[in-house]
């Protein structure tokens, strides 16, 4: 048995996978259209919801003119984007400039194909699950689609023929790729608990206990990484008014810009749907409600209601973050991902692997002893080793951070010259803290000594009348 098979237990025959045997091709196309409309309606609502909620947080009304409560404002904005003049920079690559936003938005729709939105229902005389498709490695499709979407971002920045979009595209791509690593590691623990990467089988494995409890560390890591993956505040680092303007879509307008806008919000629903599927039981009803009517509220079309309600919990979380936290600094966010999230995710995956090896049925500790062939290891030893590992990793991280700060401080001290000529550029320049003024070499100027910091003496030049007249 391979190492992977040792870590991921064989799926019992009683764990079913979504059955598409009674789903003809035309019905799959109908379900694809339903998913497309479902996501478009959700995007229209969440944009209105975000503007209204942030408006209440900032003590302003938000959209309230078009339609009841301003519900038609998003639709009006979409129509405005369709009718606006489509401007393209002269130096832009016309083909790639158009393909990039299309690729970005398309990948967001593709990722939703493997999400189980509800249970099995009867549609047009056929029994089919409310899911477009399922694969043995369906959960990895989201990571693969996110990787392809990164091409859309970097191509958009490169094809614009401008410096700011190129820098924004590189920043956004680096951020997405970096946080995909921690996101993928956070999902490994769920695969170990469920014994499968199929989304329908993972949902079935949570029929008794949602994985948000046994895989709580993975859930926290995933929530952080999903905000970084979607480039949402407080980590919308691909753009910055004082740095790189709008980022990779600075030069975009009209429908091309609307495609990026649409893809960003659909990505929010995609990562929220994956979190719902892997940690919150998918379309399963919350505990307590599931027991009503012998599970009647946990079957069929009812799953769409529970699935959508869980999505909107994450949507409120996204909006709450945007209205509360300021934008982080790019280097701090990247350091947090590489030096903290990834090591913690690796340690957690190893711990879950040990627990799964002890008791595959439950996923927690078994009889207190792990048997690997003739070798028996007590869990007390494993816990001590894991604790020492965490201490070593944490100490290394703190030491590196301290050393980096000292190196930056030393570099900053060396960058400031000890002496400065205030008239070197033609204008009087005051000295920085720790600097001393040098004796000017210009004719007709004199120097007057003035005390500097900590009792040091420095010279302050005064300009003669001839030089003042010359400057005037």
Fill in the DSSP letter of residue 295. Answer: T
- Tell me the percentage of the chain whose pLDDT exceeds 70: 77
Query: Is the model's pLDDT at 472 over the cut of 50?
Result: no
Considering the chain, what is the average pLDDT of its residues?
79
In 401-411, which positions are buried (b, 16+ CB within 10 angstroms) versus exposed (e)? Answer: eeeeeeeeeee
As separate numbers, helices (DSSP H) first and strands (DSSP E) second, the chain gives: 14, 8
| pLDDT tens-digit map of 231-253 | 888 888 777 666 667 778 788 88
Q: Return the pLDDT at 372.
A: 46
Locate tokens 């301290």: which residue? 402
Query: Is the model's pLDDT at 394 over the cut of 80?
Result: no
- Is 120:200 a contact under the CB 8 Å cutoff? no
| pLDDT tens-digit map of 118-142 | 888 888 888 888 888 888 888 888 8
| pLDDT tens-digit map of 28-50 | 999 999 999 999 999 999 999 99
pLDDT band at 309 (very low <50, low <70, confident <90, very high): very high
**Residue 95 contacts by C-beta under 8 Å, 6 or more apart in sequence?**
none
The closest of 156, 155, 472, 218 to 351, measured between CA atoms, is: 218
Query: Is the model's pLDDT at 177 over the cut of 60?
Result: yes
List of long-range contacts for 117-120, beta carbons under 8 Å, 24+ apart: 117/35, 117/38, 117/283, 117/303, 117/304, 117/307, 118/283, 118/300, 118/301, 118/302, 118/303, 118/304, 118/307, 119/283, 119/298, 119/299, 119/300, 119/301, 119/302, 119/303, 120/19, 120/299, 120/300
pLDDT band at 377 (very low <50, low <70, confident <90, very high): low
**Angstrom distance (rounded) from CA 66 to CA 56:** 18
Confidence (pTM): 0.75
Query: Is the model's pLDDT at 378 over the cut of 70?
Result: no
* Helix, strand and coil in the chain, % to nearest 5: 60, 5, 35
**Angstrom distance (rounded) from CA 89 to CA 93:** 9
List the domain boundaries for the chain: 84-345
Q: Return the pLDDT at 432.
A: 72
Query: Is the model's pLDDT at 13 over the cut of 50?
Result: no
Q: Return the pLDDT at 421.
A: 72
**Angstrom distance (rounded) from CA 225 to CA 182:** 7
Alpha helices in 280-424 (DSSP H): 302-324, 330-336, 342-358, 379-415
């Amino acid at each position: 048995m391979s190492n992977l098979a040792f870590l991921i237990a064989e799926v019992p025959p009683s764990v079913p996978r979504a059955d598409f045997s009674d789903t003809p091709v035309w019905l799959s196309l109908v379900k694809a259209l339903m998913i497309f409309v479902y996501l478009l309606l959700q995007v229209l609502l969440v944009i209105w919801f975000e503007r209204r909620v942030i408006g209440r947080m900032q003590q302003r009304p938000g959209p309230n003119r078009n339609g009841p409560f301003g519900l038609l404002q998003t639709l009006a904005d979409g129509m405005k984007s369709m009718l606006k003049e489509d401007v393209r920079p002269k130096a832009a690559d016309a083909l790639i400039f158009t393909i990039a936003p299309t690729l970005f938005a398309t990948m967001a729709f593709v990722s939703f194909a493997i999400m189980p939105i509800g249970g099995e229902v009867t549609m047009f005389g056929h029994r089919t699950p409310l899911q477009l498709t399922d694969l043995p490695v369906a959960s990895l499709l989201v990571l693969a689609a996110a990787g392809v979407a990164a091409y859309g971002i970097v191509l958009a920045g490169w094809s614009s023929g401008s410096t700011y979009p190129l820098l924004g595209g590189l920043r956004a791509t680096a951020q997405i790729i970096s946080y995909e690593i921690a996101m993928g590691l956070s999902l490994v623990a769920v695969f170990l608990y469920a014994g499968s990467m199929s989304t329908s089988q993972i949902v079935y494995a949570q029929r008794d206990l949602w994985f948000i409890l046994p895989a709580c560390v993975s859930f926290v890591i995933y929530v952080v990484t999903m905000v970084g993956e979607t480039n949402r505040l407080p980590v919308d680092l691909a753009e910055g008014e004082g740095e790189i303007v709008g980022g990779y879509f600075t030069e975009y307008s009209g429908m091309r810009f609307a495609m990026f806008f649409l893809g960003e919000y659909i990505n929010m629903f995609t990562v929220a749907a994956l979190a719902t599927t892997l940690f919150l039981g998918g379309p399963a009803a919350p505990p307590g409600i599931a027991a009503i009517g012998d599970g009647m509220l946990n079957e069929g079309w009812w799953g769409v209601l529970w699935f959508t309600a869980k999505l909107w919990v994450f949507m409120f979380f996204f909006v709450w973050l945007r209205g509360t936290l300021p934008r982080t600094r790019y280097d701090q966010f990247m350091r947090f991902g590489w030096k903290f999230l990834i090591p913690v995710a690796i340690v957690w995956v190893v711990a879950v692997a040990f627990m799964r090896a002890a008791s595959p049925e439950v996923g927690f500790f078994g009889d207190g002893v792990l048997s690997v062939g003739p070798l028996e290891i007590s869990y007390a030893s494993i816990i001590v080793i894991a604790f020492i590992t965490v201490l070593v990793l944490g100490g290394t991280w703190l030491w590196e951070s301290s050393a980096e700060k000292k190196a930056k401080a030393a570099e900053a001290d060396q960058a400031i010259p000890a002496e400065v000529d205030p008239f070197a550029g033609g204008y009087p320049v005051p000295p920085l803290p720790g600097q001393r003024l040098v004796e000017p070499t210009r004719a007709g100027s004199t120097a007057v000594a003035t005390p500097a910091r900590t009792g040091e003496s420095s010279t302050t030049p005064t300009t003669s009348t001839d030089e003042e007249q010359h400057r005037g």
